[in-house]
A and B are shown apart, each in its own frame.
Chain A
């Protein structure tokens, strides 16, 4: 049973560039959430995708956008990269089940460094 997988594991970019990060959810899951984790801090919610639509969004600028595909995999895109975007980007998947709360399972993350 495959868990949440993310690619790439590491990425180095320069300011102003654009980046795309990818996530495949755990088998059987249909909901994908993205988080940014700066060094020494807790994960910060970016947004969540369900049924190929952004369902909820945290306090992140429009430079952060995403997409979910019919197979439930997801991409996170960040435009006009800033030094402050350097962080570990975590993807978590879960199973939507009406109003009930389903656990989110995390991938290993993509470590993004901006030079």
Chain B
């Protein structure tokens, strides 16, 4: 089955800096890669997703890149703000069914 690895497990940046979180996956048939943000005690919220037919997608300060050959994808957050502090999860799935999540990255943005 699919195995998703996520790095780093914790990330601390200064407000205004950029943050990058990286994930690798094992199943070459995976074709859908969402990213979720989970604040303490709250539900995971979808922040951006990418499908295997594109290499990059951007939404304001958030971007995701996908390298299908290397089987890795990354989340980029620019101009970080304290409210970006949360745990971020990457996931991979085949057909949007059984999503397999990474272990999460705890991002802290220091004012």
CB distance from A4 to the nearest CB of B (A): 8
Task: Give the size category of A's interface with B.
Answer: 20 to 34
A99-B42 contact, Cβ under 8 Å, with A42-B104, A45-B100: no
Tell me the minimal C-beta distance from A52 to chain B in angstroms: 16
- Which of A43, A94, A102, A108 contacts B89 (CB under 8 A)? A43
- Indicate the size class of the contact surface on chain B: 20 to 34
A48 contact set on B, CB distance < 8 A: 97-98
Contact with B along A41-53 (1 / 0, CB 8 A): 1111100100000
Interface contact B46-A45, CB-CB below 8 Å = no
Residue B96 is within 8 A (CB to CB) of chain A in the complex:
yes
Query: B28: shortest Cβ distance to chain A, in Å?
Result: 16
With A42-B91, A103-B34, A108-B43 given, can you name 20 additional A-B contacts, CB distance below 8 Å? A33-B98, A35-B101, A40-B104, A41-B103, A43-B101, A44-B101, A45-B98, A45-B101, A48-B98, A56-B98, A57-B98, A59-B1, A100-B96, A101-B96, A103-B49, A103-B96, A104-B46, A105-B46, A106-B43, A107-B43
